[in-house]
Amino acid sequence: MALLFLVVIMKALVSENKKLKLIDLPKPILKEKGPILKVLGCGLCGSDIVKILHSEPDKKIVLGHEIVAQVEEINSDTDFKIGDKIVTSHHIPCFKCEFCKNEHYSMCEHFKKTNLDPCGFSEYVYVTEEHLKNVAYKIPANLTDVEASFYEPLGCCVRAVKKACRGNVLVIGLGTIGLLMGQALNAFGAKAFGCDILTDRIECANNFGIKSFHSDDIQEKSFDAIFMTSGADATIPLALKAVKNGGKIVVFASTPKNFGYANNEIYYRELTVLGSYSPSPADLADSIRLLTDKKVKVNGLSTVYDFENVVQAFEDTISNKILKAYVKM
């Protein structure tokens, strides 16, 4: 008797020598516990662009992680079932290693290893039972797919916010992440201010309840903490100017030149410069709550692209033509 294996083909986005293309891949098969998810859409993250531009030629990169999806097949001990619309993050900490014990979850080896299979910009993905148990949520009825796609990026912001949420806080850089950060800071009890060099971004931030102004108008030593969301080298001196003595600077973006904060300023002014990278499961739980309660609003931030136009979505993001792309499968 011949066994017939039916290989179903799907589309997925890959990067080859920094060029993006949609290729045919076999649809993932459910071999272990967990679900096969039909991806409904995926947000385009700044880190996807950094990955394409700076990855080594032969290194496999996974593009897309801000997914909104529907359970297509499942073998799980959790309550998730076929047809559920869910969000899930891509990495899960082990909770056992030295990094996890010290709450540096994103430094955990298991965290770095876990991911979506094959990637978020794909028609179907496999995620593990562990994803379902730790970092997945059913999408509440009051959230649209596009709104729900902010689950993971907002989780990243929540982690940063918890590290320096006191008094008057300045967000430098009012792109999507700056807008999420400012609102999350307000939700957690700080008073969020924002600055940028682009007038439309300043206006947008003010509409989201973040009191915002042009970067030229920063007052010296006037903020308890600074959140660096812009990714421009020129913002580092602005942060040092704006922070009060004894204050904190939270680094939340890579910068092209990768140069540091002045040693003597940190020393004589007792500044704390700290990083925050990726969310823990607890931060993600806070994120879905903030979105559901509309404490953080995301309406109007995303431009929606069809999957066949995903390359255009990347181009428009790189050229700053749009604030944030959501790719609909």
Spatial distance between the Cα atoms of 229 and 239, rounded to a whole number of angstroms? 11
Binding status of residue 49 toward Zn ion by CB under 5 A? no
Which residue from 68, 108, 240, 301 is in contact with Zn ion, where contact means CB under 5 A? 108
Report residue 99 as tokens. 């990094």
Spatial distance between the Cα atoms of 260 and 318, rounded to a whole number of angstroms? 25
Binding status of residue 20 toward Zn ion by CB under 5 A? no
SS3 content of the chain, % helix, strand, coil (to 5): 35, 30, 40
Spatial distance between the Cα atoms of 247 and 227, rounded to a whole number of angstroms? 11
Binding status of residue 146 toward Zn ion by CB under 5 A? no
Stretch that binds Zn ion, among 28-36, 100-108, 221-229, 249-257 (CB under 5 A): 100-108
CB of 95 to Zn ion, least distance (A): 6
The residue count for binding Zn ion (CB under 5 A) is 7
Which residue from 25, 97, 311, 322 is in contact with Zn ion, where contact means CB under 5 A? 97
Q: What is the DSSP string of 66-118?
A: EEEEEEEEEE-SSS--TT-EEEE-S----SSSHHHHTT-GGG-HHHHH---BS
CB nearer Zn ion, residue 111 or residue 193? 111
Which residue from 25, 52, 94, 197 is in contact with Zn ion, where contact means CB under 5 A? 94
Spatial distance between the Cα atoms of 206 and 210, rounded to a whole number of angstroms? 5
CB nearer Zn ion, residue 93 or residue 247? 93
Report residue 189 as tokens. 């009890």
Stretch that binds Zn ion, among 24-32, 92-100, 173-181, 221-229 (CB under 5 A): 92-100
Residues 199/212, Cβ–Cβ less than 8 Å: no
Binding status of residue 148 toward Zn ion by CB under 5 A? no
Binding status of residue 40 toward Zn ion by CB under 5 A? no
Binding status of residue 67 toward Zn ion by CB under 5 A? no
Query: Dihedral of CA 287/62/273/324: which sign?
Result: negative
Stretch that binds Zn ion, among 42-50, 227-235, 285-293, 316-324 (CB under 5 A): 42-50
Report residue 125 as tokens. 């993905």
CB of 215 to Zn ion, least distance (A): 25
CB of 85 to Zn ion, least distance (A): 19
CB of 135 to Zn ion, least distance (A): 13
Q: Look at residues 100, 41, 20 and name the one whose alpha carbon lies nearest to residue 278.
A: 100
Binding status of residue 100 toward Zn ion by CB under 5 A? yes
Spatial distance between the Cα atoms of 68 and 149, rounded to a whole number of angstroms? 6
Spatial distance between the Cα atoms of 126 and 148, rounded to a whole number of angstroms? 19
CB nearer Zn ion, residue 103 or residue 306? 103
CB nearer Zn ion, residue 34 or residue 64? 64
Binding status of residue 158 toward Zn ion by CB under 5 A? no
Binding status of residue 45 toward Zn ion by CB under 5 A? yes
Binding status of residue 253 toward Zn ion by CB under 5 A? no
Question: How many residues are listed for the chain in this entry?
Answer: 329
Adjacent-strand bridge partners of 85: 70
CB of 262 to Zn ion, least distance (A): 30
Stretch that binds Zn ion, among 31-39, 88-96, 210-218, 251-259 (CB under 5 A): 88-96
CB of 108 to Zn ion, least distance (A): 3
Residues 28/128, Cβ–Cβ less than 8 Å: no
Number of other CB atoms surrounding residue 168 within 10 Å: 16
Please tell me whether the peptide bond between 281 and the residue prior to it is cis, using omega within 30 degrees of 0: no
Report residue 313 as tokens. 């979505």
CB of 269 to Zn ion, least distance (A): 32
Note the residues at the interface with Zn ion (CB under 5 A).
45, 93-94, 97, 100, 108, 153
